[in-house]
Amino acid sequence: MKVNGEPVPAEPRPGQCLRTFLREQGWFGVKKGCDAGDCGACTVYVDGVPVHSCVYPAVRARGREVTTIEGLASNHGASGGHPVQAAFLAAQGFQCGFCTPGMIMTAAALPDDQRPDLPRALKGSICRCTGYGAIEDAVRGTARLIQNEGVTSPIGQPLGAPAGQAVVTGAARFTLDLAPESGPEAGPVPEEHLPPAPPLHLKLVRAPHAHAWIRSVDTSAALRVPGVVAVFTYADSPARKFSSARHANPDDDPYDTLVLDRTVRFHGQRIAAVVAETVAAAEAGCALVSVDYEVLPAVTSPAAALAAGAPQLHPDLAPGNVCAAVDRVSGDPDAGFAAADVVYEQTFRAQRVQHVALETHATVGWLDAHGRLVLRTATQVPFLTRDELCRVFGREQDQVRVIAKRVGGGFGGKQEMLTEDVVALAVLRTGRPVQLEFTREEQFTAATTRHPMEVTVKVGAAGDGTLTGFALDVTADTGAYGNHGPGVLYHAVEEAVTAYRCPHKRVRARAVYTNTVPAGAFRGYGLSQTVFAVESAVDELARLLGFNPAEFRRRNLLREGDRPDNASGEPGDVSTASLGTGECLDLVEKALASGRGAAAEGLEGWRTGTGIAVALLDTIPPGGHPGRAKVAERPGGGYHAFVGTAEFGNGTATVHRQLAADVLGCQPSDVLVLPSDTDRSGHDTGAYGSTGIVVAGTATVRAARALADAIAARAASGSSDGKLLEAEGFCDGLSRSVSAAVQGFRVAVCPGTGEVRILQSVQAVDAGTVLNPVQLRGQVEGGVAQALGAALFEEVRVSAAGVVTTRALREYHVPVLADVPRTEVLFCSSTADPYGPHGAKPMSEAPFNPVAPALANALRDATGVRFTSLPLRRDVVYCALNSSSL
Q: Applying CB under 6 A, which residues contact ligand FES?
A: 32-34, 37-42, 52, 54, 94-100, 127-130, 358, 409, 649
Q: Residue 55 or residue 343: which is nearer to ligand FES going by CB?
A: 55
- Structural contact between residues 699 and 729, judged by C-beta atoms closer than 8 angstroms: yes
Specify burial of residue 124 (Cβ count, 10 A radius: 0-12, 13-18, 19+): middle
| Rounded Cα–Cα distance for residues 847 and 763 (Å) | 8
- Structural contact between residues 470 and 458, judged by C-beta atoms closer than 8 angstroms: yes
- Structural contact between residues 613 and 743, judged by C-beta atoms closer than 8 angstroms: yes
Q: Residue 100 or residue 576: which is nearer to ligand FES going by CB?
A: 100
| Rounded Cα–Cα distance for residues 774 and 772 (Å) | 6
The CB-of-524 to ligand FES minimum distance in angstroms stands at 18
The CB-of-356 to ligand FES minimum distance in angstroms stands at 9
Q: How far is CA 177 from the centre of its chain?
A: 21
Q: Residue 33 or residue 164: which is nearer to ligand FES going by CB?
A: 33
The CB-of-94 to ligand FES minimum distance in angstroms stands at 4
Would you tell me the crossing angle of helices 83-91 and 69-76 to the nearest 10 degrees? Answer: 120
Q: Beta-strand (E) ranges in 265-357?
A: 270-276, 290-295, 322-330, 342-350
Q: Residue 133 or residue 622: which is nearer to ligand FES going by CB?
A: 133
The CB-of-440 to ligand FES minimum distance in angstroms stands at 8
Q: Residue 95 or residue 448: which is nearer to ligand FES going by CB?
A: 95
Q: Residue 130 or residue 863: which is nearer to ligand FES going by CB?
A: 130
Q: Residue 56 or residue 878: which is nearer to ligand FES going by CB?
A: 56
The CB-of-33 to ligand FES minimum distance in angstroms stands at 4
The CB-of-135 to ligand FES minimum distance in angstroms stands at 8
Nearest of 266, 318, 297, 807 to residue 518 by alpha carbon:
266
The CB-of-814 to ligand FES minimum distance in angstroms stands at 10
Q: Residue 52 or residue 82: which is nearer to ligand FES going by CB?
A: 52
| Rounded Cα–Cα distance for residues 741 and 580 (Å) | 9
Q: Residue 40 or residue 802: which is nearer to ligand FES going by CB?
A: 40
Q: Residue 409 or residue 768: which is nearer to ligand FES going by CB?
A: 409
Q: Residue 409 or residue 582: which is nearer to ligand FES going by CB?
A: 409
| Rounded Cα–Cα distance for residues 749 and 753 (Å) | 9
* Three-state SS sequence of 800-812: CCCCECCCCHHHH
* Three-state SS sequence of 593-611: HCCCCCCCCCCCCCEEEEE
Q: Residue 33 or residue 520: which is nearer to ligand FES going by CB?
A: 33
The CB-of-30 to ligand FES minimum distance in angstroms stands at 9
- In three-state secondary structure terms, 342 is strand
The CB-of-555 to ligand FES minimum distance in angstroms stands at 40
Specify burial of residue 637 (Cβ count, 10 A radius: 0-12, 13-18, 19+): exposed
The CB-of-147 to ligand FES minimum distance in angstroms stands at 24
Strands of the sheet with 228-232, listed across from one edge: 228-232, 270-276, 200-206, 434-437, 362-367, 373-377, 400-404, 676-677
The CB-of-793 to ligand FES minimum distance in angstroms stands at 18
Angle value at C-alpha 185, between 194 and 178, nearest 5 degrees = 20
The CB-of-441 to ligand FES minimum distance in angstroms stands at 12
- CB-based burial, 733-769: b 16+ in 10 Å, e otherwise: bbbbbbbbbbbbbbbbbbbeebebebbbbbbbbbbbb
Q: Residue 43 or residue 676: which is nearer to ligand FES going by CB?
A: 43
Helix (H) / strand (E) element for 818: namely: none
Q: Beta-strand (E) ranges in 227-321?
A: 228-232, 263-264, 270-276, 290-295
The CB-of-740 to ligand FES minimum distance in angstroms stands at 25
The CB-of-172 to ligand FES minimum distance in angstroms stands at 11
| Rounded Cα–Cα distance for residues 643 and 660 (Å) | 11
152: phi then psi, degrees, rounded to nearest 5? -90, -30
Q: Residue 34 or residue 446: which is nearer to ligand FES going by CB?
A: 34
Omega before 871 cis (within 30°)?
yes
- Structural contact between residues 244 and 418, judged by C-beta atoms closer than 8 angstroms: yes
Q: Residue 85 or residue 257: which is nearer to ligand FES going by CB?
A: 85
| Rounded Cα–Cα distance for residues 761 and 743 (Å) | 7
- Structural contact between residues 645 and 691, judged by C-beta atoms closer than 8 angstroms: yes
- Count the alpha carbons within 13 Å of 435 in the hemisphere toward its beta carbon: 22
Q: Residue 409 or residue 486: which is nearer to ligand FES going by CB?
A: 409
Angle value at C-alpha 73, between 69 and 74, nearest 5 degrees = 110
Q: Residue 33 or residue 871: which is nearer to ligand FES going by CB?
A: 33
- Please, what sign has the CA dihedral across residues 221, 224, 228, 229? positive
**Strand 467-479 vs strand 453-461: parallel, antiparallel, or unpaired?**
antiparallel
The CB-of-405 to ligand FES minimum distance in angstroms stands at 14
The CB-of-124 to ligand FES minimum distance in angstroms stands at 7
- Please, what sign has the CA dihedral across residues 223, 226, 229, 233? negative
The CB-of-347 to ligand FES minimum distance in angstroms stands at 35
Q: Beta-strand (E) ranges in 450-556?
A: 453-461, 467-479, 505-513
| Rounded Cα–Cα distance for residues 269 and 99 (Å) | 29
- Structural contact between residues 297 and 461, judged by C-beta atoms closer than 8 angstroms: no
Q: Residue 129 or residue 817: which is nearer to ligand FES going by CB?
A: 129
- Structural contact between residues 434 and 420, judged by C-beta atoms closer than 8 angstroms: no
The letter for the amino acid at 187 is G
The CB-of-862 to ligand FES minimum distance in angstroms stands at 32
